A and B are shown apart, each in its own frame.
Chain A
Amino acid sequence: MSISQATAFQPAPRTSLSAWVTIVLFLPPAILLFTVFVAMPMGEAGWYSFYNWNGYGRPEKFIGLKNYGYLLDSAPFARALLNNGLIILASLLIQLPLALGAALLVNRRFPGAVWFRMIFFLPFVLADVAAGLIWHFVFDGDYGLVSSVTTFFGAPPFFLLADKTWAFSAVLIVIVWKYFGFHMMLYIAGLQGIDKSLLEAAEMDGAGPFQRFRYVTLPLLGPMIRLSIFFSVVGALQLFDMIVPLTGGGPFDTTNTMVSFLYYFGITRMRVGFGSAVGVVLFLICVTFAFVYRRLFMNDD
């Protein structure tokens, strides 16, 4: 037997002892945490959704898919779905360009740039509930900031949060105000990762500022923008804490999101089975989006 033949035969690599120790030590806690806090609640929610249950004791009245039927018939739920869609649209069409514009502005080194970054980022630091409460008072037609503006112009008091058609626009305003700072920070990080020499090269080739932005900056910011969209959409689907103090579901259930719908129609009405059905639907939407989005857009990131 020649040496080359002997060395050509390689026994299957054996996992070393230290590797096994690592697996045994770290995997069970991770699996336990995931099971107890993620897998089990999801499974239980799915199970509860087949029952008419008020949250007390154990579920007893099995009703099969009826909860999902009630959900499909529910006009407030359809509105909540639409609202979630509107939040995503506003995030993509208003918040994103705003954050990108702000990032481009404050990325330059001018005196006070760091202060501006901090000011724009501050709303994000505020808790959702606090933001909702503050803006509830701001929009108050009798005592809030809005009332100061209307009295200054001599107009009659305007109650935005009581208006069936426009109350949701108040929610969108608060959302954009709150989160554009976070996305701005993401874009600043992205911008700072762009090689300056590329922009210089483009300038030397005669590209104007807008062309530089469109053909150099934007494509290089691509991964960051895709990430920012991902955060936006997932965050929009989960929005709840801001809705409760701001509008409480709004005049005639026009400002609910899916999670606040779950809370008001499921939990506070002690229809936990129905609430679980909403939770399952929300979960399916989120998971579908996450997988599709990663597949389509973030394959290379």
Chain B
Amino acid sequence: MNFRQVALASTVLAFGAATAWADTTVTILHVNNNAVATALWDKIAADYEAEHKGVKIEFKYLENEAFKAKLPTMLQSDDSRPSIIYSWGGGVMDAQAKAGFLKDLTGEVAGAESALAPTAVEAFKDDGKVVGVPWDVGEVAFFYNKKLFEKAGVKAEDIKSWDDFLGSVKKLKAAGITPLVVGAGEKWPMHFYYSYLVMRIGGEHALTDAKAGKDGGFKNATFVEAGKRLRELAALEPFQPGYLSTSHAQSAGMFGDGKAAMDLMGEWVLGMQAPNSASGKGLPAEDIGILSFPVVPGGKGKATDTLGGIHGWLVTKTAPKEAVDFVNFFSQEKYAKAAAAAGAYIPVYKGAEASITDPAVKHIATDLAATTYHQNFFDQDLGPSLGRVINDISVAVAAGQMTPEAAAAALQEAADQQ
């Protein structure tokens, strides 16, 4: 053999040998575009790869809607199925578990889960089996602009009941300030209002009872009244002009630009309001206050009931065992504390919220620690079909396109068709 043949052969051999070393790849599909969070995750991946030679951890990002649309197809084939997937729990997770795509993790993650908040751990069980491990929890609350409140003479401490809230909306409008910003173009931001109203009116069991079909299911008085209250608010015209086509990112940017006083949103808006604002700087942290959703007079819900997401990792059935190992690695205290300190998200590791420095995030963490009942996002809890319907009807009721009774009936119809 001449020199060229030897060189070629050894190159081919070297490639073959190289691929033989990095054998296992763990792919993780997620929707988080918070730069601080993804930077932390890259570090966790690097740490794991350093400790476990021959394992490659790949975080793959997909935009929210693309993720939801693509995931069912990706899960069907062994080739495209990620090892670990991001999840909001709820109906979609149940569907994935029932179709047999998720690994039963009971027993394998017990150590990690003993240190996590129990409500979050429960949210990732299906039929008593552990199918996922949570890593963050959040709350939906009114984020308000302190300076705009001062300008209109509104005091956040005085807003306790629904009527107080409506009064503050009127005051803000009178002062020439847009009271609320909402990204109703994407629909789900509006369903936060409807969800909280259902929770405040019907209390802890409203949703579970409706899902079980009690009292006419979704057609019962709670859902109809929630619709009426939402219509009552919307009739005051509190939203920004053109709210029906505003996207979520645009609404966060508008809040950051100081164009509206309040935004009913999840904690992630704190990381979104600056990059999406026209000025690029957004509101400084000390100018943002947090207001819990008001109580509705005569309602069964408490002011300390919280609505918010619980995010976790699910391991798919054909994932390598390193995937489960990585999930345990990810759930360590040091990473939870790092996430809290960096302001990436609010970790579910018990006690890690003490490391939170941002006052607004701390307020949320305190609310969550003191919660009397934590409800997952309605559009996740109800599953993909009913979840989209609740988003649609929230916007329709707010815009006066649908009566509260018709909205409740539409929910029940979609539930029947499932």
Interface set, chain A 185-211, CB cutoff 8 A to B: none
CB distance from A234 to the nearest CB of B (A): 25
- Interface pair A162/B242, CB less than 8 Å apart: yes
CB distance from B183 to the nearest CB of A (A): 12
CB distance from B239 to the nearest CB of A (A): 11
Of B99, B243, B389, the most chain A CB neighbours within 10 A belong to B99
Q: Which of B98, B384, B392, B417 contacts A270 (CB 8 A)?
A: B384
Which residues in B have their C-beta under 8 angstroms from that of A162?
Answer: 185, 242-245
Q: Which of B65, B99, B241, B399 contacts A157 (CB 8 A)?
A: B241
Which residues in B have their C-beta under 8 angstroms from that of A272?
Answer: 72
Q: Which of B186, B385, B395, B401 contacts A271 (CB 8 A)?
A: B385
What string of 1s and 0s marks CB contacts (under 8 Å) between B51-83 and chain A?
A: 000000000000001001100110110000000
CB distance from A155 to the nearest CB of B (A): 13
With both beta carbons as reference points, the residue of chain B lying nearest to A139 in the complex is identified as: B245
CB distance from B180 to the nearest CB of A (A): 16
Q: Does A221 contact B (CB under 8 A)?
A: no
User: In the assembly, what is the distance between CA of A157 and CA of B240, in Å?
Assistant: 11
The count of A-to-B residue pairs whose CB atoms sit within 8 angstroms is 72
Interface set, chain A 253-283, CB cutoff 8 A to B: 253, 263-264, 267-272
Which residues in B have their C-beta under 8 angstroms from that of A142?
Answer: 241-242
- Interface pair B241/A159, CB less than 8 Å apart: yes
User: In the assembly, what is the distance between CA of A114 and CA of B385, in Å?
Assistant: 52
- Interface pair B401/A252, CB less than 8 Å apart: yes
Q: Which of B68, B100, B418 contacts A57 (CB 8 A)?
A: B100
Of A142, A156, A161, the most chain B CB neighbours within 10 A belong to A142
- Interface pair B417/A70, CB less than 8 Å apart: yes
What string of 1s and 0s marks CB contacts (under 8 Å) between B232-252 and chain A?
A: 000000000111110000000
Q: Does B199 contact A (CB under 8 A)?
A: no
Interface set, chain A 40-75, CB cutoff 8 A to B: 52, 54-57, 70
Q: Does A108 contact B (CB under 8 A)?
A: no
CB distance from A159 to the nearest CB of B (A): 3
CB distance from B84 to the nearest CB of A (A): 18
User: In the assembly, what is the distance between CA of A159 and CA of B184, in Å?
Assistant: 13
Which residues in A have their C-beta under 8 angstroms from that of B95?
Answer: 54, 56, 270
- Interface pair A252/B399, CB less than 8 Å apart: yes
- Interface pair A270/B101, CB less than 8 Å apart: no
- Interface pair A270/B242, CB less than 8 Å apart: no
Q: Does B346 contact A (CB under 8 A)?
A: no
Asked whether A269 and B388 contact (CB < 8 A) given A141-B242, A159-B245, A164-B401, the answer is yes
